[in-house]
Amino acid sequence: MEINLYQLEKQIGSDEFVAALKKIDFDYCEYAVSVLEKTFPNIYKTEYAGQESNYNDFCHIYLTTAKLLMRHFDETGLTAAIGKAVKHLENFSFTQHTALLAFDDNYLKKNLKVKPEKVDSFWKHCEESKAELFKVMAEPGFSLEKTVEFAMRTLTQTDCPEWQYGSKSRWVKVAGAALTAVNIACALGAITGVGAAVAVASAAAGSAGMLL
């Protein structure tokens, strides 16, 4: 039986999320998100221009910022709260409920300027791999910071489906961190409503990208 974000919110309960969200430094989160958004296009701009040194430096800025922010989420207990809640996503569809994740879909296509067909393939991947993904996220000690570290190590991995690449590097590896971060920032601004559900669904999608 499929569910929507409103039903998901009821299943999760928001007390643990609210407690963790209240520990997050909103200004730092907002700053980090802005760095990720502004750096993302420069990664591919410098890569296409053959500016290898600049490309490497932009990757370093982006992934280091993402790592620091995800560490903050780990330390506040938000990652642990998400890990406990992913079991409720079992009947949530990343493809049938794309409209409910319209902000995420639009963010990837408009803000990060990822080609629409590649984003559509990403949602399909999230749906197909969700059982394995949720199992990993539910394990004790799951860390978003370590997820970014894995993304850093596999950014230029070859032999992956074409849709995962911006060019030689895999956009899903870097966009996953931004997707997680921007939705948690939004949840901070709207702790009630579907804030917890959006945070869980988006963190799962972001992790799907980073763990590919």
How do the pLDDT tens digits run along the chain, 212 residues long? 556 667 777 777 667 777 887 888 988 988 999 999 999 999 989 988 999 999 999 999 999 999 999 999 999 998 998 888 888 888 888 888 777 788 889 989 998 889 999 999 999 999 999 999 999 999 999 999 999 999 989 888 888 899 998 777 788 888 988 888 887 777 665 554 556 777 788 888 889 888 87
Question: What's the whole-model pTM score?
Answer: 0.87
Rounded to an integer, what distance in angstroms lies between the CA atom of residue 142 and that of residue 211?
12
Backbone angles phi, psi at 23, to 5 degrees: -90, -10
Radius of gyration of the chain from its Cα atoms, rounded to whole angstroms: 16
pLDDT at 2: 58
Cβ-proximal residues to 46 (8 Å cutoff; 6+ apart), any chain: 54, 55, 58
Whole-number pLDDT of residue 39: 94
**Given this model, what pLDDT does residue 81 score?**
87
CA-based nearest residue to 169, from 37, 32, 59: 59
Q: Which one, of 209, 199, 200, lies nearest residue 126 by Cα?
A: 209
Backbone angles phi, psi at 118, to 5 degrees: -75, -35
Would residue 159 be called left, alpha or beta, if left means φ above 0 and alpha means ψ between -120 and 50 degrees?
A: left
pLDDT given at position 73 = 93
pLDDT score of 190: 52
Q: Which pLDDT belongs to residue 52?
A: 93
Q: 37-69: buried (b, 16+ CB within 10 Å) or exposed (e) per residue?
A: bebbebbbebbeeeeeeebeebbebbbebbbeb
Indicate if the alpha-carbon torsion angle 61, 63, 64, 67 is positive or negative.
positive
Please tell me the predicted confidence (pLDDT) of residue 56: 93
Q: How far apart are CA 141 and CA 129, in angstroms?
A: 21
Distance CA 83, CA 204 (A): 9
